[in-house]
Amino acid sequence: MGINLSNFLVSKSHDRKMGQYQDLDHLDGLAVSSVSANLYNSKRDDLAMFYFRDGANFASLYTKSKILSENIKWNLSQKTQKIFSLVVNTRNANSFTGEHGYKSMQHLADLISKQLTEKQKEDEDDPKIIKPKNLIFGCTGTIGEKFPEEKIKSKIPELIKNIKYTQNKYIWMKVALSIMTTDTQPKIAMEECKIGNTTVKIYGVAKGSGMIQPNMATTLAYVFTDADISNDVLKKLLKKNIENTFNAISCDSDTSTNDMISIFSTGKAKNTLIKTINDKKIKSFDEALNSLLLNLAKRVVADGEGASKFVTINVSNSKTEQDAKKIGFSIANSPLVKTAISGEDPNWGRIIMAIGKSGVDINLNKLSIKFGELVIVNKGKIHNQYNESEAAKYMKGLDINLSVDIGNGKKSFTVYTMDLTNEYIKINSDYRS
């Protein structure tokens, strides 16, 4: 099966090489599909389905925004232990769409559940009845526009007909491309580990480029594993590992109405079911999940709208991790810091400003700042060997590492962000076109 090149050949896209992406292959118990519902009035894929033919254990985390999209409301209302399908559309956030938006989820769930039940009868030896409550949705795109229910409904038969029970790298790329909005790169990742003596896979796909400072979730991210893990353990693992991954990134300090991250467990690896977070056999999986989430989170930042620099901000030796986090995000979200980085200006005074406005108590006599390995401030004073030209040369790199040593504790936190360019303004001043 070929990739829909319309998803690649858009003016905003960067050059891509397949070799730059990990070799995701088949994950047992999962099937995927993507089609064009013409949501962009083009031929690009913009509608995706992840189908679990025997159902999957799952857990989701959602945005902390006080305004929730209608698909998030739908997902929160589904009190079920098994999910059979996740359907994701782009171009329309289904947010601030009121009763129509919510009923659209109901209508789509009714249609999809009936058609998947029929597919069960065609394909399975032991067919299951799939109910609307066994489906959840992801929506992303413009807020406040009428949800395109009819366009999507018209493509559901094709979406189900195109289900691929066996995946390869190209199929994963196709589905990752289908959920993009202003993204210029698809975002996929994989890890393998062991639970006991059983090898298990963890695959992930994400989208996100702007409106990104997640709160307990991300823009959209979906993780799939063939491990057998209970819903409760999945939820605890997700909550634990989201904090230093997706909750450690910011492109523009904005939290979406649609943020969600979900993890699905098909159980096809046939390890002994993990029922408690204290099970020692989960340690390797826990570490692999964190690596995968961090991989995806960094890909979101690197593809931030208009980004030309990837910025890592490490705040160390703080009294509390929360203090370190406040300082890190204060720096990451400062337009003055971000524009200085874009302009390749080593204006460390803006770092000082951002630290000061964080609200964290600072002892200047203990404060140190580095750009890469270049010491800028040492214990509250400009370093006696500070060289402006060396600092300016460092700022020309694509990967910028800022280190802030508070000097009054032992806690640390790392934040990942991007610079602020003219391209960001251009993209977001003309977002709906």
Q: Give residue 1's pLDDT.
A: 38
Average pLDDT value for the chain? 93
Q: What is the CATH number of the domain that holds 407?
A: 3.10.20.340
Write out residues in the chain with pLDDT < 70, as ranges. Answer: 1-19, 217, 431-433
Per the structure block, which two tokens stand in for 267?
A: 């159980």
Do residues 196 and 325 share a domain?
no
Q: Say how far apart CA 140 and CA 160 lie, in whole Å.
A: 21
Per the structure block, which two tokens stand in for 52?
A: 């679990």
Q: Give residue 433's pLDDT.
A: 55
Domain that holds residue 124: 17-302
Please give the helix or strand (H or E) that residue 44 lies within, else none: none
Do residues 225 and 362 share a domain?
no
Q: Using an 8 Å Cβ cutoff, are 419 and 342 in contact?
A: yes
Q: Give residue 11's pLDDT.
A: 36
Q: Using an 8 Å Cβ cutoff, are 117 and 130 in contact?
A: yes
Do residues 44 and 190 share a domain?
yes
Do residues 321 and 357 share a domain?
yes
Q: What contacts 24+ positions apart, CB below 8 Å, involve 113-116?
A: 113/84, 115/156, 115/157, 115/160, 116/51, 116/84, 116/85, 116/160
The region, left, alpha or beta by phi > 0 then psi within -120 to 50, assigned to residue 23 is: beta
Per the structure block, which two tokens stand in for 297?
A: 């989170």
Do residues 181 and 292 share a domain?
yes
Select from 283, 302, 321 the last residue of a domain: 302
- Domain count for the chain, please give it: 2
**Looking at the domain assignment, is residue 87 inside a domain?**
yes
Burial (0-12, 13-18, 19+ Cβ within 10 Å), 400:
buried
Name residue 246's amino acid. Answer: F
How many C-beta atoms lie closer than 10 Å to residue 99's C-beta? 8
Do residues 33 and 121 share a domain?
yes
Select from 302, 324, 353 the last residue of a domain: 302
Question: pLDDT tens for residues 158-194?
Answer: 999 999 999 999 999 999 999 999 898 999 999 999 9
**Looking at the domain assignment, is residue 285 inside a domain?**
yes
Q: Give residue 269's pLDDT.
A: 98
Select from 276, 302, 328 the last residue of a domain: 302
Q: Give residue 3's pLDDT.
A: 47
Spatial neighbors of 131 by CB under 8 A, at least 6 apart, are: 113
**Looking at the domain assignment, is residue 1 inside a domain?**
no
**Looking at the domain assignment, is residue 403 inside a domain?**
yes
**Looking at the domain assignment, is residue 7 inside a domain?**
no
| Residues identified as active-site | 218
Do residues 163 and 283 share a domain?
yes
How many C-beta atoms lie closer than 10 Å to residue 79's C-beta? 6
Do residues 269 and 393 share a domain?
no
Burial (0-12, 13-18, 19+ Cβ within 10 Å), 18:
exposed
Do residues 259 and 326 share a domain?
no
Q: What is the CATH number of the domain that holds 101?
A: 3.60.70.12
Do residues 177 and 271 share a domain?
yes
Do residues 91 and 196 share a domain?
yes
Q: Give residue 429's pLDDT.
A: 80
Prediction pTM value: 0.93
Do residues 64 and 141 share a domain?
yes
Q: What is the DSSP string of 337-385?
A: HHHHHHTT---HHHHHHHHHHT-----GGG-EEEETTEEEEETTEE-TT
Among the listed residues 220, 290, 183, the one whose alpha carbon sits nearest the alpha carbon of residue 75: 220
Question: pLDDT tens for residues 270-286?
Answer: 999 999 999 999 999 99
Spatial neighbors of 252 by CB under 8 A, at least 6 apart, are: 210, 211, 212, 213, 304, 305, 333, 420, 424
